[in-house]
Amino acid sequence: MARTIIHAMRVEFAGRDLVSMRELSRQEIEHILNTAERTEFSGDVLKGRLMCSLFFEPSTRTRLSFETAMKRLGGEVVGFAKPGAASLSKGENLTDTIKTVSCYSDVIVLRHPREGAARLAAEVSDVPVINAGDGSNQHPTQALTDLYTIRREHGRLKVRVAMVGDLKYARTVRSLGQGLAKFGARLLLSSPPGLEMSEELCAELESMGARLEVCTSIEEAVERADVLYVTRIQKERFPDPEEYRKVQGAYRITPELLEIASSRMIVLHPLPRVDEISPEVDHTDRARYFHQVRNSIPVRMAVLSLLLGVV
C-alpha cells in the first residue's frame, strides 16, 4: 500500500502508511512538523471520514489523542481498546481483522504487542495504516510529537539529547533516535546496566547521521544536555520479572539533580511515568512532558490530514 513520491520541493503523503521513522526522510519529517504548526487549523476537513482505532495493547494518551485529533477535524471514530472485545478472542488473526476493517474505514490506527504488526497490516489494508506502537519496535507519531516539541522549544533539531532510562526495549527511544539522527543530533546515552541501547541500534543511528556518546553517570547526561528525554522502565517488555526487579527505580529525576543543567535544558517524557521523574519537577520551568501531550494533537491532526490527502 505504501508509496513514496517526492517531487523537487513537494512531499506527497496521500494514501501512504506511517509505519516506521526509518522510512521518513528529513524533508518528509519537516513537512509533517510544518503542517502540524499550520494545523492549529480548524474546520471540518475530515467530515465524513472514518478512523478505525484498533488497540490490542492498553493505551490512554495515544488512543485518546488520535481520537481527539480525528474529531477536531470533523471525522468519526470507531474501534476497540481491549483485544478481548475483538473477534481475535474467537480466533481471528490480525490479517483478517485488518482486511475486514479496511473495507469500511478510511484510515486505521493500530497498536499491537507484536513487532512488525503494523507493517503486515499496511500490506494487507486498502486504506492507510498508522502505527500507534508495535511491540518494542516503533512509535512514529510519538517521535514526531517529540521532534515537534523539541523544535518549538529550541528552534532546531540538531541538539544534544540525553536519552535516559530503558534504551533497550523503549520503542519511543528507537523512533525518536532515528528521527533525530536525520538532523545530525548528538545523543547522550544513560541507562541502568542491562538496559543499554543495542549495538545494532547504535550502529544504525550513527549511520543515519547521529553522534552517540555513552555517559558514565546520569549527572553527566543532565549537565550536558539541551533535552533530557526520560523513559519508563517497561515492565511489560521484560521476559523475566526478576530482571525487571533488578533495575526498578534505578534512576530518578529530581529538581535538585536538575540544578546542574544548562539554563535552556528541558525535560521530556513520552508518559506514562512511574517514579522516574519526581512530581516536584512538574513545577519547574524545565518540565515539558505535558506540553508533549498537548503537542500530540496538532501532530496527529497533521498526520491524519496528510495521509487522507486533505492538506
DSSP 248-268: TT---B-HHHHTTS-TT-EEE
Q: Is 166 in the site for other proteins (CB under 8 A)?
A: no
Nearer to other proteins, 150 or 197 (CB): 197
Of residues 114 and 156, the one with the C-beta less far from other proteins: 114
CA distances to 50, 73, 91, 109, 176 from 70, in Å: 8, 5, 30, 11, 23
What span, in angstroms and rounded, lies between the C-alpha atoms of 133 and 116? Answer: 10
Site map for other proteins, 175-204, x if CB under 8 A?
-------------------------x----
Q: How far is the CB of 68 from other proteins (least distance, A)?
A: 28
Sign of the Cα pseudo-torsion (235, 239, 242, 247, in order) = negative
State whether residue 107 is helix, strand or coil.
Answer: strand
Concatenating the DSSP letter of every residue in 214-230 gives E-SSHHHHHHH-SEEEE
Name the residue among 255, 252, 128, 109 with its Cα closest to residue 190. Answer: 252
Q: Total number of residues binding other proteins (CB under 8 A)?
A: 19
| Residue owning grid cell 544534544 | 160
Out of 1, 2, 12, 22, which residue is the one contacting other proteins (CB under 8 A)?
Answer: 22
**Interface stretch with other proteins, choices 77-85, 112-120, 183-191, 256-264 (CB under 8 A):** 112-120
Least Å from the CB of residue 214 to other proteins: 20
Among 28, 67, 134, 146, the residue binding other proteins under the rule CB under 8 A is 134
Beta bridge partners of 253: 277
Q: Which stretch binds other proteins (CB under 8 A): 1-9, 67-75, 107-115, 250-258?
A: 107-115
CA nearest to 50, candidates 112, 125, 118, 102: 102
DSSP state, residue 79: E
Selected from 32, 109, 117, 210, the binder of other proteins by CB under 8 A is: 117
CB 206 within 8 A of CB 183: no
Q: Does 137 bind other proteins (CB under 8 A)?
A: yes
Applying the rule CB under 8 A, the residues between 253 and 292 that interact with other proteins are none
Q: Which is nearer to other proteins, 20 or 234 (CB)?
A: 20
Among 11, 18, 20, 258, binds other proteins (CB under 8 A): 20
**Whole-number Å distance between alpha carbons of 115 and 124:** 16
**Contact with other proteins (CB under 8 A): which of 15, 74, 83, 135?**
135
Please, which residue, 117 or 299, has the CB nearer to other proteins? 117
Binding positions for other proteins, 73-102, rule CB under 8 A: 93-95
Site residues (vs other proteins, CB under 8 A):
20, 22, 93-95, 112-117, 119-120, 134-138, 200
